[in-house]
Amino acid sequence: MKILYISSSVGLGHVTRDYRLGMELKRRGHSITWITSGVALEYLKSKGESLHPVSGELKSLGDQFEKFFKMGRLAPGAKDLIALYRAVSYNRKKISEIEFDSFDAVISDEGWEILGRSAPKMFFITDFESFSGRFGTVGNYLLNRLNGWYQGSMARNTANYYVGLVPPASKSFRYFGQLFTHEGNYPVSGDRDYALITFGGTRAALDIAEKIRNAGINAIFQSPYSGEKWHDPLPMMADASVVICMAGYGTLLEISIMKKRAIINMPFNDFEQEANAKIFDGRKGYRVIYMNQDHDYRKLIEEVKSEVPDPPAFKDAASDLANDIEAAAKR
């Protein structure tokens, strides 16, 4: 099959799991052309992947979404929402010029720019079922409208896949488990005397990272904006005694698989990250904290280092998703 794969440019959790599924599909003889932007685009460039020319013209939604975070809280202002809407509209117009009919299948991992567009075989991947948050009467009204559009748009797809950290409540999704990240292979875990500070592909927590570094904690900082080897964080993560991270999809999978102790920072009012973090709350080897509060990271590090980590178990569904996409595309 000739596949067009559109990966969200928000953070690195989407593109790293998409790369895992893409490698499985390529292993079966299918060709993939990618569309994304921002740090996700830089990640795929580092892997030597085939990129659609439109990728270089798109605006990074991740850059827009980062502006929603203020002092550890998800609190978008009117200007932030308008800027995001304009970026999505711009990207949607650019991508609309592509002839989807020239591809045998189109896969979208939360590609909001094409959600609702018709294609012969359209497959949608997500790790959340609906938008939520605490935004007051007007904000919640807009969320309800947004959820109506979301559900109606997904109904037009050939198949919708849920890959969240817990099974979905809705039966409208096909669910086989999670999508592991990168190549799907993880190094043997070590235990060197340093903390790894990694906040994925976002600038939203760079101020927290700086506070931790200034506290005199022996730490390595891994980020697309720090010059470290951010394309392949797994070796640094494997050898860390503790990981200080946000509650993003990819990082939580990685710390679980490698059984790393972690201090998980979740932005207040970020419904996705709050839901992800709850799975780790109360487990040995983990502390779940809000980013908008002050914390004694030195004390938290010592606490988790004294515990044997007990992470939740996850299943790599890359093979099952590839099987299902192949079968549906033939119908």
Looking at domain 2-180+316-330, its CATH architecture is 3-Layer(aba) Sandwich (3.40)
Segment among 168-182, 218-232, 301-315 with least mean pLDDT? 218-232
Secondary structure letter of residue 268 according to DSSP = B
What is the structure's pLDDT at 239? Answer: 95
Given a cut of 80, whether residue 140 has pLDDT beyond it is no
3-class DSSP assignment, residue 231? coil
SS3 content of the chain, % helix, strand, coil (to 5): 40, 20, 45
What is the structure's pLDDT at 303? Answer: 97
Per the prediction, the chain carries an average pLDDT of: 91
What is the structure's pLDDT at 194? Answer: 93
Given a cut of 90, whether residue 133 has pLDDT beyond it is no
Given a cut of 70, whether residue 324 has pLDDT beyond it is yes
Secondary structure letter of residue 299 according to DSSP = H
Pair of tokens at residue 52? 């659609």
Name the pLDDT band for 138 (thresholds 50, 70, 90).
Answer: low
Cα-to-chain-centroid distance, residue 200? 9
CATH 3.40.50.2000 region(s) of the chain? 2-180+316-330, 195-305
Angle (CA) 266 73 111, round 5° = 75
| CA 292 – CA 204 distance, rounded (Å) | 11
Segment among 24-28, 98-102, 108-112, 127-131 with least mean pLDDT? 127-131
pLDDT in tens, 60-93: 999 998 888 887 888 888 888 889 999 999 999 9
The CATH class given to the 195-305 domain equals alpha beta
pLDDT cut 90: percent of the chain above it: 65
- pLDDT: which is higher, 14 or 216: 14
pLDDT in tens, 277-294: 999 999 999 999 999 898
Q: Model's pTM, two decimal places?
A: 0.93
pLDDT in tens, 181-227: 999 999 998 889 999 999 887 877 777 888 887 888 898 888 887 76
